[in-house]
Structure 1
Amino acid sequence: MYKLEKSSIPLYIQLYEQIKSDIQNNNLAGTKLLSIRKMCQEYKLSKTTVESAYNQLYAEGYIESRPQSGFYVSEDIYKEFKQKNKNISEEKISEKEYKYNFFPAQYSDDVFPKRLWVKLHSKVITNTNLGLYPNKQGDLQLRKEIKNYLASSRAVFCDEEQIIVCSGFSDSMFILASILKDFTSFISIENPGYKVTPKVFKQFGYKINPVSITKQGIDLKELEESKSKLVYVTPSHQYPTGITIPISKRIKLINWAIENNSYIIEDDYDSELSYNNHPIPSLQGINNNERVIYSGTFSKALSPALRISYLVLPKKLLEKYINTFDFSFSGVPIDIQKTLEAFIKEGYWDKHIRKMRALNKKKHDLMKKAITIYLKDTVKILREGSGLAILIKPTVKIDWKKLEKLLEENSIKIYSIQFDTSLNEDIINLGFGCFKEEEIFLAVESFSKVWFNAIIK
């Protein structure tokens, strides 16, 4: 029996919803529904009400009409819902909250300037016309602010028309894979390197060519032999090795691109987070080469949650971008874009960068000291001095299965370098940005107790 009552919800919607729920939750495949006349009599409804409910169920495929017989629940509807419910149940994953989570690319919740952001957001939202479609490449004023910032801090020289505001790094790579697929179906990528780039390009059918990393960055000889027309590099701070390409080799790389009519994707993912040196100038600004596609992000220094990245395209690729994405708008909401514009324009971004460098250097140094004190000579530090994590490699034999079990029992989460790179080694990416300063020693001490219990003696 269905329960129908007077409310703001029309009776035919109530009837439709209850019959649909009945079909979804019970094995009614092939069951005949009451005729429209009997349904009207039993529930004291008008013929129009019942017909409207049945018509909606029929339109959605829940029921079928058999000539001179009536309405029946579709034969395969139960099997379909059973399978869907089974899949949902099997795929459900619960996310555990860990006491100490050494995630290598996030901040503790006290870092983001929430009060200032709310103040700026309130100010810009009042003056933003939300009745208009936004600029497809991203808000023009924001792109002007990004242009000025890049020129002063990264030696990236461009016009605002060359900048595309994207919703995170993977979105940036999606755009590039889309606009370059007619140019080439082959991309060379640093090896080891960041996993996201090859994953995105593979979805577009690109053939991936891994190129080795030397002590001076990507192996140019291998690159030249590959006959590639497109290469992805992280020249200022190679991920995960931390290697910086020196200026002499940068010029050689650009000359290779010019001579071979090729493009370089320069991922400058954490240029703001260098603690021991001044940030290295970009590849893009060398000799106005027009062969470098520059990729930057606000995730590392501001917030990974806001999902704001950007591309600087060579002018030759602009028309291709405009034609390919004439249907699309920036995935970053306009209120976030306008708030970020104000954040940069009013000088808060520069202050924030200085603050973050100082804060992260403190956390970095505390983490390094804690590793030395608690893990002693059982690990070797492979990479430090930038980003939000320190890479460590064991100098002793570890029972990795036992370590994993003990970590789970003690509510501690660590991340192998294999988590987000193509490097297939037993190296740990120990994040420090995710902790408050006073938590770092406690976290490493807790981890060390588990670590020593997993050493094979």
Structure 2
Amino acid sequence: MLLPLDDNAGTPLYEQLYRVLKSWIVNEAEAGERLPSVRALAKENRLSRTTVESAYAQLYAEGYIQSRPRSGYYVAEDLLSVHSPHSLPSDSPEPRSGAGSESCYDFCPARLSREIFPMKLWRRLTLQALQEDLDMGAYPEGQGESGLRRALADYLNRIRGTRCRPDQIVLCAGFSEAVSLAAALIDLLPRTLAIEYPGYRLTEQIFTEHGYDIKWVGVGARGIDLEALESTSARVLYTTPSRQYPTGVTLPIAKRQALLEWAERNSAYLLEDDYDSELNYLHRPIPAMQGLDRGGRVLYLGTFSKSLSPALRVAYLVLPDALLERYRSLSRSHFAQVSLPLQKTLELFITGGHWERHLRRVRTLNRRRHDRMLKALQRELGDEIEILSSGGGLAIPVRPRVAIDLVKLREVAATKGLRLYLASDFYGKDWEALRMGFGGLSEEQIDAGVAELAKLWRELRER
């Protein structure tokens, strides 16, 4: 298989290879067809094995290919036919906040370290924004400033693989306000929302306040249980397909297509929360499901909380055209939810190229902390714990393989300056785990904190 790759292009070879292979899978390959071996493809195209392995790893992560032991890689059997009206287009572009603590080691699963925020740059851009000719005597654009929405649309289409226009974007004052707006816009009967279980309880609370019944749908190793979803009367599904919250599962492409077909068939909507999508330490970020949508069934939600700052309280919704007119008829559409100076500063941050440089820095710093946490857990607790997921986000969830009272462990740890977080506080007793956050700790603190935790763990088990 000789492929059209260009050494002189600005795009890395592994990414070129990934895109060419994805296009071949979508437009030409048959389900179950075998891919060339890593060695053969590398030799024929004069590539390193690392380049081919990286491209195959990304295709595998997104569910386009499957691995068979001692046999190689094959096109995924469960991909929908490329002749289907919902087939993937070949030209696709590519607990949420935590308060501070007096604890010595705060393993908050949703905290960034102070050093990550580019304070000096932000001060300079804020001053630059205030020196522009801002009309502080008028209400800003209700949907958000057009310049910021253009910058966001360009970023989302180019990096996250969405297909959106600036006029589809609505700026919101944080996650809660964005979800509340989505609940108000979707006016379907019955008013039933399906949420992945385990999933984000705040979404349940907000939709309940809007009069929705809630149906929890289980998540397994390959994502949401489609049969269970079909058995509900839900007309809305809240989903985190790029990195499921909190299990870390990535929804394969075939299931994404199946969800879009479910939404079309039931005239339903999908609220796609692109949670943690930018904090992927093993692969390129998984493209958003919104980019596959041809029927206008996806509302796409993103925030700056995990990659820039939860203190800014900025989120955004990308609305399908069918909901735009309804949005513009709401009273809230006439009043901006985010201050004008903050919007202008954020616009300068994105258009100046600082945002993408910042994301590379955030991924590098947090990848090191992630790897340090993973090694510390394996070194200190070894076979006594099960790592439930890793490779992204700001926390590693672990589950005991031995008998231990995690509630008691948390109480004892608090007296020693360790702050621990249990999954059951958010998801109920059916899904329990320690959520070992690393984002707010230095690498040295991670080593020392996990060592202290392991000491308390053993003392409690010996009692």
TM over 0.5: yes
Distance 1:144 1:327, change over 3 A: closer
In 1, Cα distance between the equivalents of 2:100 and 2:283?
38
Aligned match for 2:234, one of 228, 243, 246: 228
Equivalent residue number for residue 169 of structure 2: 163
Equivalent residue number for residue 276 of structure 1: 282
Structure 2 residue 205 is matched with structure 1 residue 199:
yes
Aligned match for 1:373, one of 372, 375, 379: 379
Equivalent residue number for residue 131 of structure 1: 137
SS at match of 1:285: helix
Aligned match for 1:355, one of 335, 356, 361: 361
Conserved? CA contact 2:438–2:446, under 8 Å: yes
Equivalent residue number for residue 24 of structure 2: none
Distance 1:401 1:360, change over 3 A: closer
Deviation digits for residues 175-230 of structure 1, max 9, x if unmatched?
11112245541111111111111111011110001112133211111222213211
- Aligned AA (1:378): E
Aligned match for 1:145, one of 137, 145, 151: 151
CA drift of 1:425 comes to 3.1
In 2, Cα distance between the equivalents of 1:423 and 1:135?
45
Distance 1:160 1:280, change over 3 A: same
Conserved? CA contact 1:102–1:430, under 8 Å: yes
Distance 1:96 1:281, change over 3 A: closer
- Aligned AA (1:349): W
Q: Which has the larger radius of gyration?
A: 1
- Aligned AA (1:197): T
CA drift of 1:421 comes to 3.5
For structure 1, the 5+ residue unaligned runs are: 1-93
Conserved? CA contact 2:139–2:336, under 8 Å: no
Percentage of matched positions with identical amino acids: 41
Conserved? CA contact 2:244–2:275, under 8 Å: no
Conserved? CA contact 1:293–1:311, under 8 Å: yes
Equivalent residue number for residue 27 of structure 2: none
Structure 2 residue 220 is matched with structure 1 residue 214:
yes
Equivalent residue number for residue 105 of structure 2: 100
CA drift of 1:287 comes to 4.8
In 1, Cα distance between the equivalents of 2:433 and 2:150?
41
CA drift of 1:403 comes to 1.7
Conserved? CA contact 1:399–1:456, under 8 Å: no
TM-score calculated relative to the size of structure 2? 0.76
In 2, Cα distance between the equivalents of 1:183 and 1:189?
17
Equivalent residue number for residue 405 of structure 2: 399
SS at match of 2:290: coil
CA drift of 1:281 comes to 1.0
CA drift of 1:392 comes to 0.6
- Aligned AA (2:168): Q
CA drift of 1:289 comes to 3.1
Distance 1:400 1:219, change over 3 A: closer
| 1:242-391 to 2 correspondences below 5 Å | 242-326=248-332, 329-391=335-397
SS at match of 2:278: coil
SS at match of 1:455: helix
TM-score calculated relative to the size of structure 1? 0.76
Distance 1:384 1:408, change over 3 A: same
RMSD of aligned alpha carbons: 1.8
Distance 1:275 1:230, change over 3 A: same
Number of equivalences? 364
In 2, Cα distance between the equivalents of 1:402 and 1:257?
44
Equivalent residue number for residue 119 of structure 1: 124
Moved more, 94-103 or 150-159: 94-103
- Aligned AA (1:261): S
CA drift of 1:108 comes to 1.4
Deviation digits for residues 146-191 of structure 1, max 9, x if unmatched?
1000001111111111101111111111111112245541111111
